[in-house]
Amino acid sequence: AQRVTQPEKLLSVFKGAPVELKCNYSYSGSPELFWYVQYSRQRLQLLLRHISRESIKGFTADLNKGETSFHLKKPFAQEEDSAMYYCALHSGGYQKVTFGIGTKLQVIP
């Protein structure tokens, strides 16, 4: 069975401080990992996917197969980064998705 673990329900950081949102996964195949973001009262939307190796809004995430992790990082937090972040594992040609419980990021001015 595939599983996604986000150990922190809430992460509070000061503006300008580095951010790391943790995500670990369990999956027997080759994982496709994604990060989704949900701003206040909005629908979830894609933030980034590991296969693209891109930086979106200053966020990056590296897939570490040895540690089965896909942590989301940003060097300097901004107030507009305050949101709910979900790590997700896609399988079956991306079709089956398993979400973590989410981490609420609170950036303190």
Partner 1 sequence: NAGVTQTPKFRILKIGQSMTLQCAQDMNHNYMYWYRQDPGMGLKLIYYSVGAGITDKGEVPNGYNVSRSTTEDFPLRLELAAPSQTSVYFCASTGVRTEAFFGQGTRLTVV
- Give the residues lining the site for partner 1 (CB under 8 A): 6, 9, 34, 36, 43-46, 49, 84, 86, 88, 90, 93-97, 99-102, 104
Q: Which residue has the tokens 């992460």?
A: 11
Query: Considering beta carbons, is residue 30 or 45 the nearer one to partner 1?
Result: 45
- The nearest distance, CB 44 to partner 1, in angstroms, is 5
Cβ neighbours around 5 below 10 Å, total: 14
- The nearest distance, CB 72 to partner 1, in angstroms, is 15
- The nearest distance, CB 29 to partner 1, in angstroms, is 15
Query: Considering beta carbons, is residue 8 or 60 the nearer one to partner 1?
Result: 8
Judge contact between 11 and 18, C-beta under 8 A.
no
Q: Which residues contact 56 (CB under 8 A, 6 or more apart)?
A: 47, 48
Alpha-carbon gap, residue 55 to 66, rounded angstroms: 22
